[in-house]
A and B are shown apart, each in its own frame.
Chain A
Amino acid sequence: MIKWLRMYRLLIAASIRSRMEYRFNFWFSTLMAVIINVVEFLMLAVILLKFGHIKGWTMEECGYLYAVLTLSKAIYRTAASDVHHLEKYLVGGDLDALLLRPIPILLALMSQNFQLKAGELIQGTAILTICMGVMIRQGQMTWTAIPLTMVVIMSGAVLLFAIGLLTATAGFWILRIEELQNITEDAARTAAQYPMSIYPNWLQWLLIGGIPVAFANYLPSLYIVRQQMDWWIIPLSCAVAFLVLGAALAAWRVGISRYQSTGS
């Protein structure tokens, strides 16, 4: 395990060096990502500024949901950028080159085209700090919320990675996964940015039992922020994340054994 982690670190370092050969592109894309995220958050902020709350969820509480999810996603996409882009490898036959490497294919894929999601990390941290600062001052939460939130962010990153990997693995059977990713990753994540109590029951159950993004931020926040659930929701959220990860890794192993190159 330690050997693979060391290898992953080396590959990431090589990936960073190759990206930094195009320094302007790196900073330009980072700046654009910051602008996109700020504007995205502004949409939520404007609604809350105008109407005060969404079904009892205040600006700080919604900001907390948004920031936790943003940070989890940023960690997942930083650590495993090209898992999300597996379709490109399957359609173009680029996975063949990774199969030749003397390391696990998933590890090789994760270290390709490393992208530090600096914009999302800075924005998420800033929003989280502001929102938690306000809620701690108001006595809505205590300092213990900080380590708990860090656990939730890491667990959320694992969960989002697992959902992303499961979706990508479907590509070994159906090849084109962009449309599926739109449902399991983009739409589900957008839904999780808002308090789930606003959704109809079928959608709530879909986000808890089908694509379980509710465990990435909403359900843990019911304990950390609103004290509407007990402490066990935190370990349960972690357990769900690792359970989905286990399922994703098992599916990946089956999928990779079915891989057929597109040829050249």
Chain B
Amino acid sequence: MLFLVLARKTYARNLQYRSAHLVHNIASALFGFIYVSIWMGIGENRPLGEYGLTGIVSYVAFNQASLWVAAFLTNGLGMEQSVRTGQIALDLMRPVHLFYHLMCKEWGQIAYQFVYKFLPIYALYFFVLPLHVPSSWQTFFWTAAALSLAAYITICLNYLIGALALWTTESRWLYWVNYAFSMLLSGFLIPIEWLPKTLADISRSSFYPYLHYIPTRIYLGMEDRSALIGAVCWCAAFTFLCLAATGFMRRKVEVQGG
């Protein structure tokens, strides 16, 4: 029940900024057009492997829309700000685990971004691009499952980044470093099999493919649900890490304000 209350409150708070977020969608859609144009330029006179030109356009467009579910979450789950204001001390004293508390709020953020960012951008691309649409509801279901697991991994990552705010004032940089690596290693713009071997190996041994590459390939019908086993394992590992990080945080808290 607490999950629903916290998630709903975050969702409702975001509703206040709907018009500003819709302007943001224009920028996001524009980024997508830039990436699609790059591949159209490349694919003009070349075969593009198993994707083909239409496939790669769908791949990039779907990735751009799914950024709002799998990548663009609250920086450090807002913990940097909490450390600055001293709010973190209160949050750690609450009768609910800090990770669960922040995660519930973030699911509300994700739900909002799905409705007001993912869906409008997806709809726009559906009308103006040759976007592939799965014919089977099962593909939609497994894509949704893959995106949910991607969102959970990103929540955990942001929790760990936010936790570092207790020890450094510069933790927000790690959010952008993670974002930059994610763009390269998650297959967001370039499918992983086209990365140079070293980068492809690094990517495959990390969690990054489960953020974009796997969900989008499931959406395009190029992977089956068994590809999600890896994502589940990474989710379990990250949950353990987040719980361990909270243990460290509880030992000593130094806030910057209050």
B-binding residues in A (CB < 8 A) = 22, 25, 28-29, 32-33, 35-36, 39-40, 42-43, 46-47, 49-51, 54-55, 176, 179-180, 182-183, 186-187, 190-191, 194-195, 197-200, 203
Chain A residues, CB < 8 A from B176 = 32, 36
Q: Shortest CB–CB separation between residue B168 and chain A, in angstroms?
A: 7
Instruction: Tell whether, in the assembled complex, residue A183 and residue B30 are in contact, meaning their CB atoms are under 8 Å apart.
Output: yes
Chain A residues, CB < 8 A from B169 = 22, 25
Instruction: Tell whether, in the assembled complex, residue A46 and residue B23 are in contact, meaning their CB atoms are under 8 Å apart.
Output: no
Instruction: Tell whether, in the assembled complex, residue B27 and residue A182 are in contact, meaning their CB atoms are under 8 Å apart.
Output: yes
Instruction: Tell whether, in the assembled complex, residue A198 and residue B37 are in contact, meaning their CB atoms are under 8 Å apart.
Output: yes
Instruction: Tell whether, in the assembled complex, residue B41 and residue A39 are in contact, meaning their CB atoms are under 8 Å apart.
Output: no
A-binding residues in B (CB < 8 A) = 20-21, 23-24, 26-28, 30-31, 33-34, 37-38, 40-42, 44, 46, 168-170, 173-174, 176-177, 180-181, 183-184, 189-190, 194-196, 199
Of the listed residues B21, B173, B194, the one surrounded by the most CB atoms of chain A closer than 10 A to its CB is: B173
Q: Shortest CB–CB separation between residue B68 and chain A, in angstroms?
A: 13
Chain B residues, CB < 8 A from A186 = 27
Across the interface, name the chain A residue whose C-beta is closest to B30. Answer: A187
Instruction: Tell whether, in the assembled complex, residue B26 and residue A32 are in contact, meaning their CB atoms are under 8 Å apart.
Output: no
Instruction: Tell whether, in the assembled complex, residue A39 and residue B196 are in contact, meaning their CB atoms are under 8 Å apart.
Output: no
Instruction: Tell whether, in the assembled complex, residue B42 and residue A47 are in contact, meaning their CB atoms are under 8 Å apart.
Output: yes
Instruction: Tell whether, in the assembled complex, residue A50 and residue B194 are in contact, meaning their CB atoms are under 8 Å apart.
Output: yes
Instruction: Tell whether, in the assembled complex, residue A190 and residue B31 are in contact, meaning their CB atoms are under 8 Å apart.
Output: yes
> Given the known A-B contacts A25-B170, A29-B170, are A46 and B199 also in contact in the complex, defined by CB atoms under 8 Å?
yes
Instruction: Tell whether, in the assembled complex, residue B190 and residue A54 are in contact, meaning their CB atoms are under 8 Å apart.
Output: no
Q: Please, how many angstroms separate the alpha-carbon atoms of A104 and B233 in the complex?
A: 58
Instruction: Tell whether, in the assembled complex, residue A35 and residue B24 are in contact, meaning their CB atoms are under 8 Å apart.
Output: no
> What are 20 A-B pairs with beta-carbon distances under 8 A?
A22-B169, A29-B173, A32-B174, A33-B173, A46-B199, A47-B42, A47-B190, A50-B194, A54-B41, A55-B44, A179-B24, A186-B27, A187-B27, A190-B31, A194-B34, A195-B41, A198-B41, A199-B33, A203-B34, A203-B37
Across the interface, name the chain A residue whose C-beta is closest to B22. Answer: A179
Chain A residues, CB < 8 A from B174 = 32
> Given the known A-B contacts A51-B46, A176-B20, are A36 and B195 also in contact in the complex, defined by CB atoms under 8 Å?
no
Instruction: Tell whether, in the assembled complex, residue A28 and residue B173 are in contact, meaning their CB atoms are under 8 Å apart.
Output: yes
Across the interface, name the chain B residue whose C-beta is closest to A38. Answer: B180
Instruction: Tell whether, in the assembled complex, residue B21 and residue A179 are in contact, meaning their CB atoms are under 8 Å apart.
Output: yes
> Given the known A-B contacts A28-B168, A29-B173, A49-B196, are A194 and B38 also in contact in the complex, defined by CB atoms under 8 Å?
yes
Across the interface, name the chain A residue whose C-beta is closest to B23. Answer: A179
Across the interface, B31 reaches (CB within 8 A) one of A22, A33, A187, A197, namely A187
Q: Please, how many angstroms separate the alpha-carbon atoms of A46 and B195 in the complex?
A: 7
Chain A residues, CB < 8 A from B33 = 199-200, 203
Instruction: Tell whether, in the assembled complex, residue B183 and residue A43 are in contact, meaning their CB atoms are under 8 Å apart.
Output: yes
Across the interface, name the chain A residue whose C-beta is closest to B29. Answer: A187
Q: Shortest CB–CB separation between residue A98 and chain B, in angstroms?
A: 22
Instruction: Tell whether, in the assembled complex, residue B199 and residue A55 are in contact, meaning their CB atoms are under 8 Å apart.
Output: no
Known: A32-B176, A35-B177, A46-B199. 6 other contacts (CB 8 A): A28-B168, A39-B180, A51-B46, A54-B42, A187-B30, A198-B38
Of the listed residues B21, B46, B174, B180, the one surrounded by the most CB atoms of chain A closer than 10 A to its CB is: B180
Q: Shortest CB–CB separation between residue A164 and chain B, in angstroms?
A: 15
Chain B residues, CB < 8 A from A183 = 23, 26-27, 30
Across the interface, B34 reaches (CB within 8 A) one of A46, A49, A50, A190, namely A190
